[in-house]
A and B are shown apart, each in its own frame.
Chain A
Amino acid sequence: MTDLRLLSFYAIMVEQIIDNIDSIQRSPNSQVSQQNKDTEIKRCKVSAYRVILAVSSALEPIVNVPAYDSKKLFSELFDKNLISNLNKKVPKLKTLLEKLDTFEKSVDVSQLISQKAVFPDAKKNAEVFDATLLIQSKTTEDAINNGNPQEKGFMYYLNDAWEWLKSLFSCGRNEPL
């Protein structure tokens, strides 16, 4: 059931991304420059791609498709019997699949997913992959050059309140705090 709950969660994320793309596309050019629109839509595509991959991995144990065979996974995802079976379990799934279907038509997700099979061939994944890699490499390089890593510890350790914590654990059994 956990995987199915995850799907429901992903469905909400996909809906939000699609709504976001819709609103960007509908916004008048006078308010947002075309270049900004394109950049923002590209960002949404990258997010959607990740969410869809997450859906793929969440579905993996359900549809029993081997890892990384994303193309096959998606063809099974859109199989009518599978949808019907899963719909009985997760009401949100139908909406998710409809949205994914619409989304696939609008941003050519099938192309992105088929690229996953040969991922990460940068030449074939140029637009989405390179944009992500560039941003993340830059952040990491900055961290390596100038970063100051800060780890965290359990608070009672810092507060030296272990004894207090032990007594807290006993509170429900009428032992003194």
Chain B
Amino acid sequence: MNDINKKMIQALIKIRLNDYYLPSEVGFFDAFYFGKLIPFSLQMVEKICHNSQFKQNPFDQTKQHIIVFAKEKPDEFILFSSQLLQYYTIICDAELANIKSFYKMLHYIEDKIEVFGDASKNLLMAEYYLIEMYNDIFSDLEKFNSVSDDKKLSINKFISQNRRKISILLARLEQNVKCTGAYFYQGVFIDYLYVIINYTQAFLVDYELKLNGGEYTDSFSKNRQKYLQECLKYLDLLEKAQRVACFDPFFLGKHLFAKFAIKTIPEFKSHLQMLLQ
């Protein structure tokens, strides 16, 4: 690796270590280094896109969006690059790819805080965590559905504990996203994260009900409705900003719901409205 890249890596890590307080290292990214930062970040995005299993815009299009963003909002681009660098580092970890449980994954990343740094304010990592949380709930339900009725009680205890942990961690993550969004980032990626947070929360309510084999009580219904309506609210915001979303670098060139089964906002909204009926 050349010295220029090494120096940029150090400057981006310094910004992160300083809680994204930009003036600390803004002097480093003069015209020369800023010019180098754009291809450096693009190189990471390109590698992520090429490895990705999710359909995305052609990379040339993504590249143009990111270049425009960098020129129009240079300070925000530096902060984005700082988060991208940490995200890239973490998702390159070979051991991490083999961890299937969210809770184990979180412990693994936190145990390696010395090498990865604190990822709690990283918006790209927030999405990564949310997907893993959702998948954990999904796997638990699959396990629950696959065992015979007499074994359901014992498995229920185990997955109920897991659900409680996820519930606490989800609340913590929501708080982190809220703080980070207010702190340095005003883009639509935050609204997208709120959609997933609320959708996962609604899923958790249904999950609990399923485990207990019960009927909807007022409390369950109220909670579920609250999360689904919040989800709809943020979908409305995303719909209004859809054109802007294409230019948001945090999507890394992917379509809005590339990682979801539902690909469009109207489809997603109609799904939520069905759940609300």
Interface residues on B, range: 35 or more
Residues from 148 to 176 in A contacting B, C-beta threshold 8 Å: 148-157, 160, 162, 165-166, 168-174
- Known contacts A137-B13, A149-B92, A155-B135: does B215 contact A172 (CB below 8 Å)? yes
Q: Which residues of chain A are near B21, meaning CB under 8 Å?
A: 67-68, 119
Residue in contact with B115 in the complex, picked from A54, A139, A151, A156, CB distance below 8 Å: A139
> Cβ of B88 < 8 Å from any Cβ of A?
yes
Q: Which residues of chain A are near B139, meaning CB under 8 Å?
A: 155
Contact B13 A136, beta carbon cutoff 8 Å: yes
Q: Which residues of chain A are near B113, meaning CB under 8 Å?
A: 47, 50
Contact B24 A144, beta carbon cutoff 8 Å: no
Residue in contact with A169 in the complex, picked from B44, B89, B275, CB distance below 8 Å: B275
> Cβ of B39 < 8 Å from any Cβ of A?
no
- Return the CB mask of B145-175 against A: 1 if under 8 Å, else 0: 0000000000000000000000000011001
Contact B6 A137, beta carbon cutoff 8 Å: yes
> Cβ of A79 < 8 Å from any Cβ of B?
no
Q: Which residues of chain A are near B19, meaning CB under 8 Å?
A: 53, 57, 67-68
- Known contacts A57-B19, A171-B210: does B115 contact A136 (CB below 8 Å)? yes
> Cβ of B109 < 8 Å from any Cβ of A?
no
> Cβ of B61 < 8 Å from any Cβ of A?
no
> Cβ of A46 < 8 Å from any Cβ of B?
yes
Chain A residue, CB-CB nearest to B178 = A2
Contact A152 B13, beta carbon cutoff 8 Å: no
Q: Cα distance A151–B258 when bound, in Å?
A: 12
Contact A151 B48, beta carbon cutoff 8 Å: yes
Residues from 129 to 144 in A contacting B, C-beta threshold 8 Å: 129, 132-133, 135-141, 143-144
Q: Cα distance A171–B54 when bound, in Å?
A: 30
Chain A residue, CB-CB nearest to B262 = A162
Q: Which residues of chain A are near B54, meaning CB under 8 Å?
A: 151, 153
Contact A154 B47, beta carbon cutoff 8 Å: no
Q: Which residues of chain B are near A171, meaning CB under 8 Å?
A: 206, 209-210
Residue in contact with B88 in the complex, picked from A47, A143, A153, CB distance below 8 Å: A143
Q: Cα distance A53–B19 when bound, in Å?
A: 9
Contact A143 B10, beta carbon cutoff 8 Å: no
> Cβ of B218 < 8 Å from any Cβ of A?
no
> Cβ of A147 < 8 Å from any Cβ of B?
yes
- Known contacts A53-B19, A155-B134: does B89 contact A147 (CB below 8 Å)? yes
> Cβ of B219 < 8 Å from any Cβ of A?
no
Contact B135 A152, beta carbon cutoff 8 Å: yes
Q: Majority SS of interface residues in chain A?
A: helix
Contact A140 B52, beta carbon cutoff 8 Å: no
Chain A residue, CB-CB nearest to B220 = A172
Contact B135 A148, beta carbon cutoff 8 Å: no
Interface residues on A, range: 35 or more
> Cβ of B128 < 8 Å from any Cβ of A?
yes
> Cβ of A99 < 8 Å from any Cβ of B?
no
Q: Which residues of chain A are near B118, meaning CB under 8 Å?
A: 50, 54
Contact A172 B114, beta carbon cutoff 8 Å: no
Chain B residue, CB-CB nearest to A150 = B97
> Cβ of A37 < 8 Å from any Cβ of B?
no
> Nearest chain B CB to A66's CB is how many angstroms away?
12
Contact A145 B138, beta carbon cutoff 8 Å: no
- Known contacts A50-B118, A149-B51: does B14 contact A120 (CB below 8 Å)? yes
Residue in contact with A141 in the complex, picked from B6, B96, B274, CB distance below 8 Å: B6
Kindly list 12 other residue pairs between chains A and B, CB separation below 8 angstroms, not including A149-B44, A150-B96, A154-B131: A2-B175, A133-B10, A137-B10, A137-B13, A139-B115, A149-B48, A151-B259, A153-B54, A154-B135, A154-B259, A171-B210, A172-B209
Residues of B bordering A, CB below 8 Å: 1, 5-6, 9-10, 13-14, 17-19, 21, 24-25, 44, 47-48, 51-54, 85-86, 88-89, 91-94, 96-97, 113-118, 128, 131-132, 134-135, 138-139, 141, 171-172, 175, 179, 202-203, 206, 209-210, 214-216, 220, 258-262, 271, 274-275
Which 4 A-B pairs have CB atoms at the shortest separation, nearest pair first? A147-B92, A143-B92, A162-B261, A155-B135
